[in-house]
Amino acid sequence: MADESQRKELARRLRLAREQSGLSQEAVARRLGLKRPAISEIEAGRRKVTANELAALSDLYHTSMDWLMSEKPSNFEKIELAARSLARLKSEDLDHVLRLLRTLRDPGTK
């Protein structure tokens, strides 16, 4: 049963990392030399991922294999995903986000 829950968590994280990377299943499949249904099966937890595929997915998604394979959700997961999204912002938009964060941390400052 632990294997099944681990596979489902890996599948969830792979889908999440792909979506945060802005890639379609088709684009991932092309880059890995697979068919799109293989990516769909991996993300549904119905197909096992080889070590080589996991390494390639980790590189493609710019995330660690440790994070992909971890069983425990953490705040680091949210922070890592936020950082990927922030990295795609224009400089002025990033400045707005940083001001918002300062306001949330200390509502008395502007």
Q: Please tell me the predicted confidence (pLDDT) of residue 82.
A: 80
Q: Please tell me the predicted confidence (pLDDT) of residue 11.
A: 94
Q: Where in the chain is the domain with CATH 1.10.260.40?
A: 1-73
What are the b/e assignments for 20-39, b being 16+ CB within 10 Å? beebebeebbeebebeeebb
Please give the single-letter amino acid code of residue 68: L
Q: Please tell me the predicted confidence (pLDDT) of residue 84.
A: 78
pTM summary value: 0.67
Tens digit of pLDDT at every position of the chain (110 positions): 458 888 888 999 999 889 888 899 999 999 999 999 999 999 999 999 999 999 999 999 988 888 888 766 566 667 777 887 888 889 999 899 889 988 888 876 55
CATH topology of domain 1-73: 434 Repressor (Amino-terminal Domain) (1.10.260)
Q: Please tell me the predicted confidence (pLDDT) of residue 7.
A: 87
**HSE-up of 92 (CA within 13 Å, CB side)?**
0
Q: Please tell me the predicted confidence (pLDDT) of residue 30.
A: 97
The answer to whether 50 and 67 have CB atoms below 8 angstroms apart is no
Which residues contact residue 11 at a Cβ distance below 8 angstroms, ignoring those fewer than 6 apart?
Answer: 42, 43, 44, 45
